[in-house]
Amino acid sequence: MAKLLIVEDDLHLRKFYTREFSEDGYHVAEAADSQEALRVLADDLPD
């Protein structure tokens, strides 16, 4: 399964993208900003 990291500061857009990609079978991690994205990347590298 492909993994994606969505980085978006707008909560509604972030949730929308996460839901859409999840429904298409992707494992999706999300972050609100670059600092949070770096923390997520340290735990779970996307493809």
User: Which pLDDT band holds residue 45 (cuts at 50, 70, 90)?
Assistant: confident
Domain residues for the domain of 37 are 3-43
Domain count, the chain: 1
Which pair of structure tokens corresponds to residue 34? Answer: 């670059």
Whether the predicted pLDDT of 39 surpasses 70: yes
DSSP state of 9: S
Q: DSSP assignment of 19-46, as one string?
A: HHHHHTT-EEEEESSHHHHHHHHHH---
Whether the predicted pLDDT of 47 surpasses 90: no
**5 phi and psi, to 5 degrees?**
-120, 120
The whole-model pTM stands at 0.83
User: Which pLDDT band holds residue 21 (cuts at 50, 70, 90)?
Assistant: very high
